[in-house]
Amino acid sequence: MSNETDKEIAGHDYDGIKEYDNPLPGWWLMTFYGTIIFAFIYVIHYESGSGNTLKKDLEIAMAQIESVKTSTGPKVLDSEDVLLEKAKDPKLLVVGAENYQSKCASCHGAELQGMIGPNLTDDFWIHGKGNMTDIITTVRTGVPEKGMPPWEGILKNEEVLAVASFIHSKHGSKPANPKEPQGQKVE
C-alpha cells in the first residue's frame, strides 16, 4: 500500500527492488505506545503500588466467606432453591444431626417425634410451611413466649443451616409415638 507521503529511500535499490519509507499510521502508533505506557502503570500499580494482586483479592474474598460462615448474626439468606441444594450435603447432615441431638432433642425428641416441642417430621407446621427458609427463620428467632429458644447468637450460621437441613431430611420419616399434629396441614 502506498500513499502520497511515501518517499523512495535514496540509495536503497537492490537489483531493481526499491525501498520506500512507509510510515505506520498515526492511530496504530498511538495504540502501540499506549500499550507500553499502560504496561508501566500496571506493573508499578500492582507490584509496588497499592493495587491488590489476584492472590490478595482471593485472600480477602476467602476471609469474607469465613466470617459469614462463622458469624452468628443475621445474614442475607440464600433462596429456597439454593438452600435445598445445600441441604443434600451428607457432611452438613452429619453436623446437623449432632447439633440436633445435643441442642434440640430434649424438647423435640430424639426421633423428632415431638415432646415439649412439636413433631418436626409430619405435615403440620405452626410457623411457615416447613421449607428450609421457614425452618431456618424459626430456629434463628425462636418463639420465646411458647418455649422455643432463639438460636441466633448460639449456633453459627453454618450450624443453623446444618440443623435445618437435618430436620428437612427427616420429613415424612414417621417416628414411633409421634406427638399429635400441631398447626396447619401443609399439602
Contacting positions for ligand HEC (CB under 6 A):
103-104, 106-108, 116-118, 120, 125-127, 135, 138-139, 143, 146-149, 151, 163, 167, 182-183
d(CA 7, CA 3) in angstroms, rounded, equals 9
Nearer Cβ to ligand HEC (108/156): 108
**Burial track 25-43 (b if 16+ CB lie within 10 A, e otherwise):** eeeeeeeeeeeeeeeeeee
d(CA 1, CA 61) in angstroms, rounded, equals 53
Contact (Cβ atoms closer than 8 angstroms) between residue 173 and residue 121:
yes
Nearer Cβ to ligand HEC (51/149): 149
To ligand HEC, the closest distance from the beta carbon of 118 in angstroms equals: 4
To ligand HEC, the closest distance from the beta carbon of 42 in angstroms equals: 51
Nearer Cβ to ligand HEC (60/110): 110
To ligand HEC, the closest distance from the beta carbon of 157 in angstroms equals: 13
To ligand HEC, the closest distance from the beta carbon of 173 in angstroms equals: 15
Cβ count near 124 (within 10 Å): 18
To ligand HEC, the closest distance from the beta carbon of 108 in angstroms equals: 6
To ligand HEC, the closest distance from the beta carbon of 176 in angstroms equals: 19
Nearer Cβ to ligand HEC (125/158): 125
Classify burial at 123, counting beta carbons within 10 Å of its beta carbon; exposed 0-12, middle 13-18, buried 19 or more: middle
Nearer Cβ to ligand HEC (56/129): 129
Nearer Cβ to ligand HEC (46/84): 84
End-to-end CA distance of the chain: 78
* Lookup result for grid cell 492511530: 27
Cβ count near 85 (within 10 Å): 12
